[in-house]
Structure 1
Amino acid sequence: MYTINDLFDLNHTLAKEYLQQFTYPWQALAGIKQLILDLGKTLEDYEEVQEHVWVHPSAKIAPTAFLGAPCIIGPNTEVRHCAFIRGSALVGADCVVGNSVELKNVILFDHVQTPHYNYVGDSILGYYSHMGAGSITSNVKSDKTLVVMKNGKEEIKTGLKKMGAMLGDHVEVGCNSVLNPGTIIGRNTNVYPLSRVRGQVPEHTIFKSQEEIVIKEK
Structure 2
Amino acid sequence: MERINLGDYVTAPTEGAIATTAYGALETFELAAFLDQWKGLQREALVMLGEEQRIHPSAFIHPTAIIGDNVIIGPGVKVHEFTTVRKGSVLCAGAQVGFNCEVTATFVGEGAVLGHRIGVNRTILGARAHLSAGVTVAAINMTTDMRTPDREVIIRTMTGLYRCGTTQFGAVIGDDTQTGNNISIGPGVTIGRRCQITSGVTLAIRTVPKDCTVTAPHATDTSIRRRRSTFAR
> How would you bin the TM-score normalised by the shorter chain?
0.7 to 0.9
The residue type paired with residue 106 of structure 1 is: T
User: Distance in 2 between the 1:114 and 1:96 partners?
Assistant: 6
* 1:117 aligned partner: 117
Aligned partner (choices 150, 172, 175) of residue 181 of structure 2: 175
Please give the secondary structure, in 2, of the residue aligned with 1:55: coil
Identity of aligned residues (%): 24
User: Distance in 2 between the 1:34 and 1:19 partners?
Assistant: 17
Taking structure 1 as the reference length, the TM-score comes to 0.85
Aligned partner (choices 3, 6, 9) of residue 4 of structure 1: 6
CA contact (8 A) 2:193 2:210 kept: yes
Question: Which sections of structure 1, spanning at least 5 residues, go unmatched?
Answer: 49-53, 211-218
User: Distance in 2 between the 1:23 and 1:190 partners?
Assistant: 24
The residue type paired with residue 10 of structure 1 is: A
Q: What's the RMSD between the two structures over aligned residues?
A: 2.0
Matched, 1:56 2:56: yes
User: Distance in 2 between the 1:106 and 1:30 partners?
Assistant: 14
Please give the secondary structure, in 1, of the residue aligned with 2:39: helix
Matched, 1:193 2:195: no
* 2:45 aligned partner: 39
User: Distance in 2 between the 1:112 and 1:33 partners?
Assistant: 22
* 1:17 aligned partner: 25
Larger radius of gyration: 2
Please give the secondary structure, in 2, of the residue aligned with 1:159: coil
Q: Which has the higher strand share?
A: 1
**1:87 and 1:195, CA in 2 relative to 1: closer, same or farther beyond 3 A?**
same
Cα deviation 1:49-73 (Å, max 9, x = unaligned): xxxxx21011001111111121111
* 2:78 aligned partner: 78
Please give the secondary structure, in 2, of the residue aligned with 1:99: coil
Answer with 75-84 or 152-161: which moved more: 152-161
Q: How does 1:72-111 map to 2 (within 5 A)?
A: 72-111=72-111
CA contact (8 A) 1:29 1:123 kept: no
Question: Which sections of structure 2, spanning at least 5 residues, go unmatched?
Answer: 144-148, 218-233
Cα deviation 1:16-69 (Å, max 9, x = unaligned): 22552x222x4323433332332233238x835xxxxx2101100111111112
